[in-house]
A = this chain, B = another copy of it.
Amino acid sequence: MRTAKGFEINTPAFMPVGTQATVKTLSPQDVLKAGAEIILCNTYHLYLRPGHKLIEELGGLHKFMNWEKPILTDSGGFQVFSLKGLVKITDSGVKFQSHLDGSSHFITPELAVEIQESLGSDIIMCFDEPAGYPSDLDYLKKASDRTTLWAERCKNAKKNDMAALFGITQGGTNPALREQSAKEIVSIGFDGYAMGGLSVGESASLMLDMVEVTEKFLPENKPRYLMGVGTPEDIVGAVGRGVDLFDCVMPTRNARNGALFTSRGRVNIRNAIHARDASPLDPECPCETCTGYSRAYLRHLFMADELLALRLNTLHNITYYQRLMSRIREEISKGTYASFMDGFLNHSPQGED
């Protein structure tokens, strides 16, 4: 996949989440070293603080955060609709109150695109209405219809040729609605297609079913992005169903809780079993954390509330995810993905709780 500015992104790809213009605890150099070729930033957060106009005035988000490679910005929809009780939705847009200071804001599809263009995003996402899980059919339909309406307005609102615009399909866990939404969004025509409103409480298998239902109606030659997913297992399963692009806070958030992904299974670095362990976190991992420090040191840092713990943990988890994507691409190119997927999903070490 190639961006308008000429950056090549190897797919399937995982985008670390840099909510507030930083992948929490990491410098951009760390993120690069971990192997990421694209990151995601959150429109909602940056709109509220420090403000997209300020970032534009300072030369755009890439310069602001010192990250030259591609950035995908979400539309803010998911965050806005997560503000339970503070949100008023009409066809024209969404009125909500800032989680920071309670101030009132009104976001329209046009404003969502304008914000993302101000930021200088490489991939702009349409403003959508993701439904929670479970939702009744009436609401699912209403949210899906409004997502289509807004997708048209987003396409019309876009001014910048240096960014791609991705449509988002909805439909919750209703296969017929998923199909309808996919067809409508595809008929509008976008540079890529996302599956939204998933990984919001439904089971992993139901989520993958919805991916299957949706992807059939997406064009072969455009990137497919499964938003907010997921565990390594979710990703491996979704790639098997044709997904190209992922983002999730899991590797970064888990890292800050001491939950680490390794080739030998999950590790909870707080566990006492690591207190005297001189071995690396993951002997197969080339990251700074695994080559420079023992499990005993990582546990010490974590138990002593040292911030370096969060940084080293995050660096490792992001490296783990990027290496997984690299392995996935390799297995696909060798034509051995099916057996890799089977091994990964059914015969991997589980590790600790």
Contact = CB atoms under 8 A, between A and B. Distances in A.
Contacts of A310: 307
30 contacts: A20-B300, A20-B301, A20-B304, A21-B297, A21-B300, A21-B301, A22-B308, A24-B306, A24-B307, A25-B307, A25-B308, A25-B311, A27-B288, A27-B308, A49-B300, A49-B303, A50-B275, A50-B299, A50-B303, A54-B275, A54-B276, A58-B276, A59-B278, A64-B296, A65-B297, A66-B292, A307-B307, A307-B310, A307-B311, A311-B311
A278 B25 CA distance: 22
Nearest to A28: B292
A25 to B, nearest CB: 5
Interface string A15-39: 0000011101111110000000000
A308 B24 contact: yes
B296 A54 contact: yes
In which size bucket is the chain A interface? 35 or more
A271 to B, nearest CB: 14
Given A50-B275, A50-B296, A50-B299, 15 more contacts: A20-B300, A20-B304, A24-B308, A25-B311, A27-B288, A27-B311, A49-B300, A49-B303, A50-B303, A54-B275, A54-B276, A54-B296, A58-B294, A64-B294, A64-B296
Which 6 pairs show the lowest CB-CB distances between chains A and B? Answer: A50-B300, A20-B304, A25-B307, A66-B292, A22-B308, A22-B306
A93 B326 CA distance: 58
A57 interface: yes
A294 B60 CA distance: 12
A293 interface: yes
B64 A297 contact: yes
Contacts of A65: 297
Given A50-B296, A294-B58, A22 B301 contact: yes
Given A50-B275, A303-B49, A310-B307, A296 B24 contact: no
A312 B22 CA distance: 12
Given A293-B66, A300-B50, A26 B58 contact: no
A274 to B, nearest CB: 11
Contacts of A312: 27
A51 to B, nearest CB: 9
A297 B310 CA distance: 21
A258 to B, nearest CB: 15
Contacts of A296: 50, 54, 58, 64
A49 B297 CA distance: 11
